[in-house]
């Protein structure tokens, strides 16, 4: 006998970032940043929200200079920072990835270019790819004053570029608490290369990264 899912479980099943659909993901060659990040030496950290964190993590984990990419939940409360609750859309979190990078190899402005070229469509609010809900909103979360200046300048440059047909709505968000996601969601694409979502959404984005930016593409997945 087929098992009937409770309503809450059904909502989770259709809202979680594991529902491949046939629509194509957009890839846009975002402009090179006019405002270059001046970050000095030493590792830097920034947070990016761009839909399902499996995809954000997968792409950044293949970028040269990225030391780690950790999936998690930005904002909201610690008590509600769980995949089941966040995926239901009832919390104040967004799925996000904390990226640690070496600015001598890859600068913050270059990460922004990769992010908007390959990972996130800046014209979409509360959705990316097949995923819908405020927990999938694309947001830039700078953790330093320099990152904030660069992010603000780059969004303004993107709006002037004319590369996108619709208005750009991705915000620069205030930094809040970042809660690492459960272990099963870390390095997800590396551990689950045949997962339907990974095959349908992550693999094409990695191919786009390699095609658009071969100089920063790293064939090996850097575990978080």
161: left (phi over 0), alpha (psi -120 to 50) or beta: alpha
Q: Of the residues 33, 46, 52, 112, which is catalytic? A: 52
Burial of 145 (0-12, 13-18, 19+ CB in 10 A): exposed
Q: How far is CA 126 from CA 41, 66, 121, 131, in A?
A: 35, 27, 11, 9
Phi and psi for 43 in degrees, rounded to 5?
-65, 145
Is 52 labeled as catalytic in the residue annotation? yes
User: Could you give the CA distance from residue 88 to residue 13 in angstroms, rounded to a whole number?
Assistant: 9
How far is it between the farthest Cα atoms of the chain?
62
User: Could you give the CA distance from residue 93 to residue 151 in angstroms, rounded to a whole number?
Assistant: 21
**Extended strands (E) in 32-171:** 44-50, 66-75, 93-101, 127-128, 131-132, 138-141
Answer yes or no: are the C-beta atoms of 150 and 33 closer than 8 Å.
yes
Catalytic (active-site) positions? 52
């Amino acid at each position: 006998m087929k098992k009937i899912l409770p309503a809450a479980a059904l909502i989770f099943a259709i809202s979680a970032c594991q529902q491949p659909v046939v629509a194509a993901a957009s890839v846009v060659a975002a402009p090179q940043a006019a405002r270059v990040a001046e970050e000095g030496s030493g590792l830097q950290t920034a947070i990016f929200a761009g839909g399902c964190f499996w995809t954000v993590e997968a792409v950044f984990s293949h970028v040269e200079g990225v030391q780690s990419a950790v999936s998690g939940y930005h904002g909201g409360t610690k008590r509600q920072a769980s995949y089941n609750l966040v995926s239901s859309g009832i919390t104040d979190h967004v799925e996000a990835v904390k990226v640690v990078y070496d600015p001598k190899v890859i600068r913050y402005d270059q990460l922004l270019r990769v992010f908007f070229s390959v990972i996130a469509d800046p014209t979409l609010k509360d959705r990316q790819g097949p995923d819908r809900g405020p927990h999938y909103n694309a947001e830039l979360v700078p953790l330093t004053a320099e990152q904030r200046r660069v992010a603000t300048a780059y969004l303004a440059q993107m709006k002037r570029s004319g590369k996108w047909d619709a208005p750009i709505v991705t915000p620069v968000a205030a930094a809040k608490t970042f809660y690492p996601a459960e272990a099963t969601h870390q390095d997800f694409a590396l551990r689950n290369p045949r997962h339907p979502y990974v095959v349908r959404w992550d693999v094409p984005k990695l191919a786009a990264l390699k095609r658009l930016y071969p100089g920063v593409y790293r064939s090996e997945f850097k575990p978080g």
